[in-house]
Amino acid sequence: ADFDLLIRGGTCVTAADTFSADVAIKDGVIAATGRELGSADKEIDASGLLVMPGGIDSHVHLAQPSASGTPQMADGFETGTRSAIAGGTTTVIPFAQQPRGVGLRETLESYHEKARGQAYCDYGFHLIITDPTPQVLGQELPALVKDGYTSFKVFMTYDDMVLNDRELLEVFDCAKDCKALVMVHCEGYDAIRFMTERLERQGKTEPYYHGVSRPQIVEREAAHRAISHAQLIDVPIMIVHVSGREAMEQIRWAQQKGIKIFGETCTQYIALTADDMKGFNMDGSGSKYVCSPPPRDHESWDAIWEGIRGGVFQTFSSDHCPFFYDGPQGKMTGKAKASFRWVPNGLPGVENRMQVFFSEGVSKGRITLNEFVALTSTNHAKMYGLYPKKGSIAPGFDADIVLWDPNREEVITQSAMHHAADYTPYEGQKIKGWPVMTLLRGKKVCEEGKITGEVGDGTFLKRDYSAFVS
């Protein structure tokens, strides 16, 4: 036969176009699109379905160790990437977090060890820089960027990760020199500490107060500070997990001034609210929704959609950062019972990202199909140096494809999930539009929620420079 596989009769969607075509695949790569392409060993009937690039989720946390005595993450590479492919995502970029005092090579090696042979989908790594010593910024980081680790994240809060302004400037300066893209967690350390300690003195320690301790003002202030530092150095940065209007407006303002600032938002900021963290109950169920930045309110959802439609945000991610709710590793174990400040920050969501975004975005008429593909796949590939290998349906691209039924109605429920976490924050959400088959480099890895791929199918991706960093 001419090809290994032919996907027949579907509607192909890319970031630019929507067109009826068959897709021919050979050796894991898209060989041709069109009609009457030739013969194939296997065929898939995609009539009535959308044929879209597999999702790329450029913001995922897997197997990051927590401090001893605090809950450990629920998902490693096996269950996290299994959950990804079940949701139509074929590439994830998790973080390799530098423990202070440890070198970057050593950090990366330990994450490679956790991932090697353990992934169901392809993966890369962003470093998290917590200890920007002269050795790290002068030698290690530039060398690693050259080796294909072309993006990294820094934090403006958290005791074990926060960088002060001087350190941020040093890191930005290094990124400029080595053409790396810096992702910035924008929440102000001192303001959060102040708010947290005041709430604790008032006895306001339930999970709900996690959100109160870090309101949008705290996020906006840090976003503005990061933007100012980036402008001073003249380096592009990506402000991740934007939760509402305040930070969105800072990014828009910067973009309108011609400062190169990029923005990411996530599922929880269009689907959850601060009220979901209300669990004045003794069981602490509000802790299921504790993440940072915290989910806000309905006005914030509107602001996020405004940013999505207006081009303020280039990428839509899950920020999958899974913890258990129940059991010995549960979110409310140990010190967390005493105060929200000890509840681990993060929600599982890699499997639900495309479902919720399609349903709320495309099915409700807020965005086009092409915008959906750009925000869930193509822009991630361009932003993080995976284009033109990943992120489109065209000859030469990896045959990472999701077949999507735009009319299928489902309800999200934990019992159907493929992650290791024991809950989903999106429980009960009604969805219109659902992934029915996922292909990774031409191999069917999931069909109708059933995993057909094998652990180890996923390979490590060395990345190019960001197409958005010139």
**Contact positions vs ligand DUC (CB under 6 A):** 61, 185, 241, 291-292, 319, 321, 345-346
State whether residue 369 is helix, strand or coil.
helix
- Report d(CA 401, CA 447) in Å as an integer: 12
Count of C-beta atoms within a 10 Å radius of residue 190: 12
Q: CB of residue 371 vs Zn ion: minimum separation in angstroms?
A: 23
Strand partners, 401: 53, 439
Smaller CB separation from ligand DUC, 52 or 347: 347
Smaller CB separation from Zn ion, 101 or 428: 428
From ligand DUC, Zn ion, none, which one binds at residue 360 (CB under 5 to 8 Å depending on kind)? none
- Report d(CA 324, CA 470) in Å as an integer: 41
Which one of the spans 75-83, 182-190, 353-361, 459-467 is the region binding Zn ion (CB under 5 A)? 182-190
Q: CB of residue 155 vs ligand DUC: minimum separation in angstroms?
A: 7
Smaller CB separation from Zn ion, 10 or 322: 322
Q: CB of residue 347 vs ligand DUC: minimum separation in angstroms?
A: 8
From ligand DUC, Zn ion, none, which one binds at residue 438 (CB under 5 to 8 Å depending on kind)? none
Q: By beta-carbon distance, which residue lies closest to Zn ion?
A: 185
Q: CB of residue 319 vs ligand DUC: minimum separation in angstroms?
A: 5
Q: CB of residue 292 vs ligand DUC: minimum separation in angstroms?
A: 4
Smaller CB separation from Zn ion, 185 or 382: 185
Considering Cα of 330, then 334, then 338, then 340, what sign does the dihedral take? negative
Smaller CB separation from ligand DUC, 241 or 390: 241
Smaller CB separation from Zn ion, 12 or 270: 270
State whether residue 3 is helix, strand or coil.
strand
Which tokens go with 157? 């809060």
Strand partners, 22: 34
- Report d(CA 142, CA 152) in Å as an integer: 11
Smaller CB separation from Zn ion, 23 or 274: 274
Q: CB of residue 182 vs ligand DUC: minimum separation in angstroms?
A: 14
**Which residue in 391, 345, 348, 349 sits closest to 372, CA to CA?**
391
**Which residue in 47, 55, 115 sits closest to 86, CA to CA?**
55
Among 46, 88, 121, 185, binds Zn ion (CB under 5 A): 185
DSSP classification of residue 434: E
Name, in order, each residue with C-beta under 8 angstroms of 174's C-beta and a sequence gap of 6 or more: 132, 137, 138, 141, 142, 180
Interaction residues for Zn ion, span 273-332 (CB under 5 A): 319
What's the alpha-carbon Rg for the chain, to the nearest Å? 21
Asked if 400 is part of the footprint of Zn ion (rule: CB under 5 A), the reply reads no
From ligand DUC, Zn ion, none, which one binds at residue 345 (CB under 5 to 8 Å depending on kind)? ligand DUC
Query: Phi, psi at residue 319, to the nearest 5°?
Result: 50, 40
Q: CB of residue 344 vs ligand DUC: minimum separation in angstroms?
A: 8
Count of C-beta atoms within a 10 Å radius of residue 66: 14
Smaller CB separation from Zn ion, 183 or 401: 183
Smaller CB separation from Zn ion, 33 or 250: 250
236, 396, 419 from 28: Cα distances, Å? 34, 10, 26
Q: CB of residue 56 vs ligand DUC: minimum separation in angstroms?
A: 17
From ligand DUC, Zn ion, none, which one binds at residue 247 (CB under 5 to 8 Å depending on kind)? none
From ligand DUC, Zn ion, none, which one binds at residue 46 (CB under 5 to 8 Å depending on kind)? none
Determine the angle formed by the axes of helices 298-309 and 245-256, rounding to 10 degrees. 20
Residues that bind Zn ion (CB under 5 A): 185, 319
